[in-house]
C-alpha cells in the first residue's frame, strides 16, 4: 500500500510539474525525475518566493543559448545571469532540454550533439528532483517517502560562475580539494570562462586573490575577524547591510556573506576587466588598470614590466575609421577587451586593435593605418583603439636613422648576399632536408626540444613496397602537388600516398607547412595525416585511405549520385561545417583552407566527410586571420571575389566556398556547369534568381525524388545564399551558418545579391559565351602553392 501511495504522489507531482514548466505561465520551483524543461516552450523554474528564475537565455546580442539563473525582475538591466550551467558549451538553437534521467543525472540534452551533464549519476533508487531555492541555489536532491529531503546530491552553489551570492562559499574544501571560486565572463555577450579568477589565497592566508591567467593581479589584504574587514579593501566589507564571515577548520576554509532581509538583490561579481562589482553599485570598488607601475591602486600587484609598457590605449574618437592596405593583420578569439588590450600593449609592433563584444574577437594591426571605409575590416559596432607612446618623437627619430642606414648599405649588402647564395647553391637542398627532418621530429624531437610522436617517418623502401613500386594501377589521381597512390603497409593498414612530382613547383617548405599543419589538427571531419617520407629525391605525405574517394566522385555522376539520399547529404554538410568550425575557431591554429570544394571532401566507409588537401591552407596561429597576397591560388568558381580580384583572404572567403559547396550538394550540379547564352553563368547566380522568383524547389536534385524535408532543404539553400553574398561582412561565420541550419522556425536574414551576379533584362542582346577549356585530364583544378 505504501509503494502504491508513493507512485500516486509521484504521478500527481509529475503531472503538476509538466503543466508548471510549460509555456502556460504557471510557475513552479521543482523539476521531477522524467520531466523536461524545454527551451522551445519558454519553460522556466521560479523559486518559491519569486526571487530567482532559471531557464534558457541568450546573453546580450548573442544567438547562443545557455541554461542559467537570474534575479526574477521585470527590468532587463536586473536580469544578467548570476549562474550559467553550460557557459563553455553553448547551444546553437532552441533545442535545449533540462531533464533528470533514469539514473538520477541532471543534464541538458539538445539536438546538436552529446548531452551536457551537470551532475554525476545519483546511484539511488529513491525519488529524485531538482529545486530552485530562494537563495539562488539550484539543488538536486533525493526525496524520502514523505517528500522531504533525504540528501543533497548536487548543488549549483558548489559550481559558481562569476557571481558570489549570499550564503555561497568562496574558498577551498581541504578534504576533497574542491575549489569555490569565481571566473569572469569573456564579455557581456559571451559567458564563457574568462581570464580573471577570484578565490582565496591558496597559501593559507585569509584573503581574497584575483588572478589574471594564473598570475596574481589583486589582493584584498588579510581579513581582520575582529573588525570584520579586509586590510586593503575595507570598503568591500563595510556595506551596512552585508555581513562577511570567514570560516576555517580541518575540512574547509572559506568566506561567505549574508544580507538583511530587506536587501532582496545582492551579489558580488568579477567583471571581464578584473573588477569586483556589487550588483546594486554602478562602479567597482577599485580598478587596477592595465599598467600600474607609477600609481598602484590599493591591493594591485605590480605586473611584470614589458619593454613596450610605456604605451597606453586611447579609444579612437571616429567610430567609422577602419584599416586597409598591405599590413600584418591578426585576429584573436575568446578574449576579453582587457586581454586584447594586454596583448597589444605587450607587442611593440602593435599599433591598433579593435574589439567586438558580441563575438569576443580582437583584431590587431601592426601597420597600414587608414581612416577610409573598407568592407573587409569595417564593423559598425566595433570599438577601435590606438596604441600611443610617450616617447613618440624619439621613436620617429630612431626609425629615421635606421631607414637611412638601410638605404646606404642596402645595395652592397644585396650584391654580397647574391654572391653568397650562388656559392652555396649546391648545398642548399641537403641543408634544407636536414633542417626539415629536425623540425618535423625525425630525430625524435622538434625544434623546441619536445618529443614529436604525432608524425611518423616512413622509409622509401616501405612506401615503395606498399604502393607496388608506385604502379599505375595503384594511382588514385593527381593534383598540383603530384600523383596520389593507394598503398597497403605490412600491418595491413591502407594508406594514400601523396608524392611530390619532380615537375611540381612546390618544394620542401610547402611540404613542411602541410605536414606540420595537419599533424597539429585533430578532428573527426579532417583527414588524418599518418606520416611522411623524406629520402633521397623523394618527398611524400602519407594519409589515411578513404575508400569512398571524394564527394565529387558521387555527386556529379548521374548513376552514383543515387546513393546520396538527403540524410547522407545533410550529414556531409554538417560534417564539413563542423570541420570548418574547428579550423576557424576551436583548433590550436586558426586556419583558412582556401580551396574548399567537392573534390577536397573525402568520404570514409560510412560516407562521413573529411576535409582534405591543406596545401593551400594559411596558418594564422591566432596572430593573423585576414591578409593580402599577390599570388592567387585556389579554384575559380569557389573563390570569393575579394580573394580572386584583390588577393584578400579570410575566414569569410572560406564561407563563400562553403556556400558554393552547399548548393552543389543540394542541386547535384557543378558551379561552372552553366553554359546558357542568356541566363546566369554560375550555380550561385541561378539559385539567387530561382529563390527570388519563388522557384527554389526547382534547385533540388531530381535524384532525391520527394523523400526530403522541404523546410530543412530550404534553410540550407537560404544559408548558401547568405554565404555567397558579395560583401564578405554580410556573410555569416561558420558558427552562425550552422546555427541557422539548426534553427527551425527562426527568421533568417534576407540574402543580398551574390558575387559575380549581374542582373540584365531579357531585351538586352545575348552575350556569346566561350566555354572554358579544361586542361586537367581528370577534371581536377591546377593550383599553385604559396609558402607560409
Instruction: State the catalytic residues.
Output: 595
> How far apart are alpha carbons 568 and 685 in whole angstroms?
26
> How far apart are alpha carbons 358 and 371 in whole angstroms?
23
Q: How many CB atoms lie within 10 A of CB 407?
A: 9
C-alpha cell at 125: 533508487
Q: In what order do the strands lie in the sheet with 268-270?
A: 163-164, 268-270, 276-278
Alpha helices in 61-154 (DSSP H): none
Q: How many CB atoms lie within 10 A of CB 742?
A: 19
> How far apart are alpha carbons 271 and 729 in whole angstroms?
30
Give Cα separations from 727 to 6, 368, 595 (angstroms). Answer: 63, 22, 19
Q: Nearest 10 degrees: CA dihedral of 534, 538, 544, 547?
A: -170
Instruction: Provide the terminal-to-terminal Cα distance of the chain, rounded to the nearest Å.
Output: 76
Alpha helices in 441-507 (DSSP H): 460-466
Give Cα separations from 436 to 507, 515, 535 (angstroms). Answer: 11, 11, 12
Per DSSP, the residues of 469-503 read: TT-GGGEEEE-SS-EEEEEE-TTS-EEEEEE--TT
With vertex at residue 67, the alpha carbon angle to CA 122 and CA 362, rounded to the nearest 5 degrees, is 125
Q: What is the DSSP letter of 584?
A: I
C-alpha cell at 311: 604605451
Instruction: Please check whether residue 605 is in contact with residue 548, taking contact to mean a CB–CB distance below 8 angstroms.
Output: yes
> How far apart are alpha carbons 438 and 435 in whole angstroms?
5
* Residue (of 164, 230, 171, 244) closest to 202 by Cα position: 171
**What is the chain's Cα-based Rg?**
31
> How far apart are alpha carbons 27 and 47 in whole angstroms?
9
Per DSSP, the residues of 214-255 read: TEEEEE---EETTTTEESS-HHHH--TTEEEEEEE-SSEEEE
CB-hemisphere CA count at 13 Å for 525? 17
Instruction: Please check whether residue 662 is in contact with residue 609, taking contact to mean a CB–CB distance below 8 angstroms.
Output: no
Instruction: Please check whether residue 372 is in contact with residue 322, taking contact to mean a CB–CB distance below 8 angstroms.
Output: yes
Phi and psi for 271 in degrees, rounded to 5?
-90, 175
> How far apart are alpha carbons 368 and 388 in whole angstroms?
15
Quick one: how many helices (H) and strands (E) in the chain? 14, 44
Amino acid at each position: 500500500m505504501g509503494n502504491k501511495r508513493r507512485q500516486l504522489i509521484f504521478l500527481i507531482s509529475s503531472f503538476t510539474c509538466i503543466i508548471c514548466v510549460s509555456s502556460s505561465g504557471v510557475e513552479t520551483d521543482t523539476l521531477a525525475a522524467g520531466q523536461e524543461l524545454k527551451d522551445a516552450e519558454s519553460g522556466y523554474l521560479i523559486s518559491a518566493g519569486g526571487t530567482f528564475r532559471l531557464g534558457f537565455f541568450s546573453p546580450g546580442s548573442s544567438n547562443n543559448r545557455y541554461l542559467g539563473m537570474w534575479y526574477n525582475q521585470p527590468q532587463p538591466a536586473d536580469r544578467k545571469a548570476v549562474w550559467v550551467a553550460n557557459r563553455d558549451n553553448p547551444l546553437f538553437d532552441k533545442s535545449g532540454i533540462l531533464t533528470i534521467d533514469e539514473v538520477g543525472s541532471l543534464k541538458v540534452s539538445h539536438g546538436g550533439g552529446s548531452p551536457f551533464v551537470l551532475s554525476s549519476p545519483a546511484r539511488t533508487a529513491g525519488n529524485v528532483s531538482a529545486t530552485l531555492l530562494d537563495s539562488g541555489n539550484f539543488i538536486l536532491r533525493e526525496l524520502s517517502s514523505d517528500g522531504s529531503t533525504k540528501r543533497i546530491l548536487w548543488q549549483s552553489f558548489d559550481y559558481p560562475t562569476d557571481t558570489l551570492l549570499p550564503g555561497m562559499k568562496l574558498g577551498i574544501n581541504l578534504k576533497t580539494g574542491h575549489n569555490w571560486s569565481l571566473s569572469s565572463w569573456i564579455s557581456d555577450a559571451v559567458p564563457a570562462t574568462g581570464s580573471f579568477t577570484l578565490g582565496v589565497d591558496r597559501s593559507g592566508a585569509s584573503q581574497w586573490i584575483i588572478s589574471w591567467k594564473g598570475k596574481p593581479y589583486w589582493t584584498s589584504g588579510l581579513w581582520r575577524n575582529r573588525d570584520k574587514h579586509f586590510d586593503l579593501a575595507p570598503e568591500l566589507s563595510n556595506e551596512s547591510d552585508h555581513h562577511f564571515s570567514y570560516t576555517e577548520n580541518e575540512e574547509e576554509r572559506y568566506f561567505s556573506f549574508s544580507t538583511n532581509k530587506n536587501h532582496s538583490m545582492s551579489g558580488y561579481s568579477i567583471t571581464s576587466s578584473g573588477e569586483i562589482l556589487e550588483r546594486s553599485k554602478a562602479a567597482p570598488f577599485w580598478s587596477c588598470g592595465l599598467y600600474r607601475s607609477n600609481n598602484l591602486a590599493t591591493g594591485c600587484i605590480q605586473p611584470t614590466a614589458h619593454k613596450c609598457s610605456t604605451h597606453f590605449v586611447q579609444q579612437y574618437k571616429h567610430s567609422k575609421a577602419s584599416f586597409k592596405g598591405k599590413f600584418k593583420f591578426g585576429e584573436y578569439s575568446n578574449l576579453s577587451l582587457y586581454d586584447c588590450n594586454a596583448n597589444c600593449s605587450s607587442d611593440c609592433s602593435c599599433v591598433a586593435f579593435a574589439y567586438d563584444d558580441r563575438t569576443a574577437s580582437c583584431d590587431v594591426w601592426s601597420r597600414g593605418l587608414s581612416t577610409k571605409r573598407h568592407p573587409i575590416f569595417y564593423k559598425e559596432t566595433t570599438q577601435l583603439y590606438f596604441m600611443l607612446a610617450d616617447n613618440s618623437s624619439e621613436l620617429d627619430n630612431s626609425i629615421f636613422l635606421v631607414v637611412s642606414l638601410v638605404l646606404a648599405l642596402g645595395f652592397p649588402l644585396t650584391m654580397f648576399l647574391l654572391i653568397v647564395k650562388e656559392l652555396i647553391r649546391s648545398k642548399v637542398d641537403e641543408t634544407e632536408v636536414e633542417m626539415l627532418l629536425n623540425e618535423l621530429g625525425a630525430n625524435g624531437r622538434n625544434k623546441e626540444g619536445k618529443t614529436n610522436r604525432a608524425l611518423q617517418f616512413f622509409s622509401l623502401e616501405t612506401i615503395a613496397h606498399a604502393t607496388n613500386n608506385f604502379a599505375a594501377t595503384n594511382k588514385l589521381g593527381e593534383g598540383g602537388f603530384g600523383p596520389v597512390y593507394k598503398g597497403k603497409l605490412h600491418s595491413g593498414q591502407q594508406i594514400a600516398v601523396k608524392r611530390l612530382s619532380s615537375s611540381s613547383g612546390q618544394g620542401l617548405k610547402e611540404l613542411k607547412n602541410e605536414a606540420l599543419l595537419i599533424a597539429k589538427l585533430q578532428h573527426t571531419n579532417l583527414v588524418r595525416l599518418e606520416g611522411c617520407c623524406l629520402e633521397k629525391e623523394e618527398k611524400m605525405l602519407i594519409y589515411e585511405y578513404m575508400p569512398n574517394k571524394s564527394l565529387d566522385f558521387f555527386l556529379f555522376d548521374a548513376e552514383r549520385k543515387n546513393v546520396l539520399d538527403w540524410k547522407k547529404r545533410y550529414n556531409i554538410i554538417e560534417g564539413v561545417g563542423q570541420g570548418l568550425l574547428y579550423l576557424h575557431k576551436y583548433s590550436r591554429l586558426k586556419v583558412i583552407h582556401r580551396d574548399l570544394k567537392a573534390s577536397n571532401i573525402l568520404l570514409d566507409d560510412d560516407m562521413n566527410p573529411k576535409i582534405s588537401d591543406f596545401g593551400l591552407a594559411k596558418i594564422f596561429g591566432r596572430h593573423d586571420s585576414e591578409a593580402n597576397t599577390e599570388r592567387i591560388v585556389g579554384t575559380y568558381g569557389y573563390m570569393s571575389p575579394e580573394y580572386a580580384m584583390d588577393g584578400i583572404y579570410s575566414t569569410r572567403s572560406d564561407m563563400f566556398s562553403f556556400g558554393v559547396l552547399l548548393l552543389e550538394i543540394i542541386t547535384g550540379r557543378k558551379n561552372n556547369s552553366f553554359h546558357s547564352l542568356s541566363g546566369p553563368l554560375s550555380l550561385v547566380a541561378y539559385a539567387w534568381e530561382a529563390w527570388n522568383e519563388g522557384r527554389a524547389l526547382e534547385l533540388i536534385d531530381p535524384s532525391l525524388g520527394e523523400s526530403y524535408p522541404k523546410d530543412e532543404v530550404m534553410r540550407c539553400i537560404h544559408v548558401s545564399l547568405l554565404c555567397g553574398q558579395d560583401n564578405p561582412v554580410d556573410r555569416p561565420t561558420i558558427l552562425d551558418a550552422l546555427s541557422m541550419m539548426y534553427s527551425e522556425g527562426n527568421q533568417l536574414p534576407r540574402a543580398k545579391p551574390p558575387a559575380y551576379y549581374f542582373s540584365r533584362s531579357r531585351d538586352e542582346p545575348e552575350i556569346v559565351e566561350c566555354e572554358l577549356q579544361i586542361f586537367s585530364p581528370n577534371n581536377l583544378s591546377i593550383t599553385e602553392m604559396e609558402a607560409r
